[in-house]
Structure 1
Amino acid sequence: MGDSRNVVCARIVVEGRVQGVGFRQWVRKLARQRNLSGWVMNRQDGQTVEAEVQGASAPVHRMTELLAAGPPGARVDKIDVQWINPQNIPASFEIRR
């Protein structure tokens, strides 16, 4: 992931039509293309997806922009991004169930 001093971590919650539309798989694909680590999962409420994305600052910031737009077939009504201290999260990017 490059220089560890530039590692950032974002906790992202996306609300809308984001479950049952391939949103988690899309997030994992984007994260892996950018060499980011973390996870994504559906929340129990049926209308939100939560993710933690960690890596170099520029690609993590770009991920927040991409998640705000969402993939085809999804509808993002709201996104909440919290910048948190880098976490001990998976070395790759995974879908949690």
Structure 2
Amino acid sequence: MSDDHEAALVRVTGRVQGVSFRVWTRDEALRLGLTGWVRNESDGSVAALIVGSDTAISTMVERFWKGPPGASVSRVEKQPTALAEMPTGFRIAH
């Protein structure tokens, strides 16, 4: 991974499933130039791997607190992570 890119695993909890959170996340991530993925978790949370500049990641984490219309976010947890290779694009994982 290049020096100007970081990777973070983010877990968002609250009312985040059934409100198009994954589609919203993909669209916001692409606007910010991030790569990675987003998926629903069995515990009702949403998890996302976001890769990009520190500034873009920080902006995305701030946006997670608001989410799309209909979402009610109670917690956003960001954990730095190491990657063997850079993901390309941003996808909704299943």
TM-score by length of 1: 0.89
- Please identify which structure carries the higher strand content: 1
Identity, in percent, stands at 38
In the alignment, what sits opposite 1:64? 61
Query: Do the aligned partners of 1:7 and 1:86 also contact (CA within 8 Å) in 2?
Result: no
Q: Which residue type is aligned with residue 51 of structure 2?
A: Q
Residue 89 (structure 1) shift? 4.8
Unaligned runs of 5+ in 2: none
Amino acid at match of 1:64: V
Closer/same/farther in 2, CA of residues 27 and 17 from structure 1, 3 Å limit: same
Q: Deviation digits for residues 71-94 of structure 1, max 9, x if unmatched?
A: 211000111110122453530000
1:80 aligns with 2:69: no
Does structure 1 residue 53 correspond to structure 2 residue 50?
yes
RMSD (CA atoms): 1.5
Which of 2, 6, 9 is residue 8 of structure 1 equivalent to? 6
- The two structures have a TM-score, normalised by structure 2, of 0.92
Pair 1:77–1:88, CA change in 2 (3 A): same
State whether residues 18 and 76 of structure 1, in contact with CA within 8 Å, keep that contact through their aligned partners in structure 2.
Answer: yes
> How many residues are aligned here?
94
Deviates more, 1:61-70 or 1:83-92: 83-92
Q: Are the structure 2 counterparts of residues 86 and 6 from structure 1 closer, same or farther at C-alpha, using a change threshold of 3 Å?
A: farther
